[in-house]
Structure 1
């Protein structure tokens, strides 16, 4: 069974000294990875990753996850390779198909059906692997040889068939998870589901039954590779309480009407209870689902540190 790894994400970029302090606090609390989403109004992923690595001694850095339709593969390959070199090989590249329609509209980008966005994800993975594998752009060959310039390729040779950084693919649907089963070093089981009949980006939290079905679906596709890939989840809320049932009832009534209190207590995408109870929940869910790479939203970073302390 895999050891736990813990990550947190950034919703914002505070002033530099506060950003550095946040990263160092996370490292002290036992976090392994600092992650950056890819949403308009939030931090730019790659500068934030490089700054987080520079502020710390061992934190790995990654994207959770890049909105692939925002990116041209050649420009993305340049960003990834540069960040991996500047961080000394600490990058984890998370990719997804995108799901917030308003962001595409605001950026003046076409909003394509999910199948087309998934096809774009597949094509990007293939193109990144080709670009990471070299030999680079022939137009630069003479210049690089004359001056002895380093080729712009990732330091790491773990993901992309041994040519780039570890690849994380996140999602819930069959098509994205099929890609993950085929290519990913880390499979991120998304904890939110689009509500049918509602505008894109209107979500509910998934149940334990849905998580289990998705895990079995992927493991069935992976065959002998099933134990090689790391299973990751993003915890949507960390609720510290001595009365789990009462907290679940409040959440069901006020914030999560599509889940019963029983489903709220069982879903792996929420943590509710004392620190000891939450640590126990993570151990049980690792045994049940295989989830060993646990990420929390940034506002819960310090609170969740007390759970990490009980699991180290």
Structure 2
């Protein structure tokens, strides 16, 4: 059984100094990975990851997750290789199919059906592996020979068929999880599910039963592979009144009963000791060992890390 790892998903960058101090505090708390999403109106992922690594000693950094439809694979390969080099081989690459239609509209990008978006995601993974494992662009060979330049490749040789950083693929549906099970080193479950009949980007929290079914689906399609399982915890609240707080949360999540709020792995409610015990139970039940929290809960969750180390 794998040991726990802990990540935090960054929402904003206010200044260089504040961001560096924030990352150093997270490292002192015991977090392992600083993560950046890929949304319009949010910080650009790769510069922020370089800054996070520069400010810390051991913190790994990762995208959580890149919207593959935003990226040309060859331009993305350049970003990944450069970032992996500048962070000293501490990068993890998270990729997803994209789910916010308004972002596609604002960026002037076509909103493909989900299957097409996943197809683009798969082609992106394949092309990245080809660039990372290939001999370099032949058009650059005269320049490389003249000046003794290296082919731009990642430092790490783990993911992408042994040619790049570890690859995380995140999602919920069958198509993307089937891809993740086959190709990713880490499979991410965010626990948010599209509400049927509502506009794209209208989500609800999955239940414990749904989480168990998704994990079983991943393992079925992974075969002999054993990808690390990432759990995105959407909400953390430290309280002595676990049931009373769960009842308040259930009022805002009408699809979940109080018992379901208490049982779902995507929400953590209770004392620090109770949360630590729930994560141990979730590791046994589902196999979740890489735990990520949203940045507003960085401080609240930190004591739980101490109980699990």
- TM-score tier after normalising by the smaller chain length: over 0.9
Quote the Cα distance in structure 1 between the aligned partners of 2:61 and 2:160: 17
Q: Residue 107 of structure 1 corresponds to which residue in structure 2?
A: 107
Is 1:291 paired with 2:288? yes
Q: Deviations over 1:18-71 (max 9, x none)?
A: 111100000000000000000001110000000000000000000010000000
Quote the Cα distance in structure 1 between the aligned partners of 2:17 and 2:219: 44
Q: Residue 98 of structure 2 corresponds to which residue in structure 1?
A: 98
**Which stretches of structure 1, 4 residues or longer, exceed 3 Å deviation after superposition?**
none
Is 1:174 paired with 2:202? no
Q: Spell out the pairing of 1:1-312 with structure 2 (5 A cutoff).
A: 1-225=1-225, 228-253=226-251, 255-312=252-309
Quote the Cα distance in structure 1 between the aligned partners of 2:48 and 2:55: 11
TM-score by length of 1: 0.98
Kept in 2: contact 1:134–1:153 (CA 8 A): no
Kept in 1: contact 2:276–2:304 (CA 8 A): yes
Quote the Cα distance in structure 2 between the aligned partners of 1:222 and 1:65: 21
Q: Deviations over 1:63-112 (max 9, x none)?
A: 01000000000000000000001111000000000000000011111111
Kept in 1: contact 2:190–2:233 (CA 8 A): no
TM-score by length of 2: 0.99
Kept in 2: contact 1:271–1:278 (CA 8 A): yes
Q: Deviations over 1:250-303 (max 9, x none)?
A: 0111x2111111100000000000000000000000000000000000011111
Size of the aligned set, in residue pairs, is 309
Aligned-residue offset at 1:190? 2.3
Aligned-residue offset at 1:16? 1.2
Structure 2 gap ranges (5+): none
Quote the Cα distance in structure 1 between the aligned partners of 2:66 and 2:137: 25
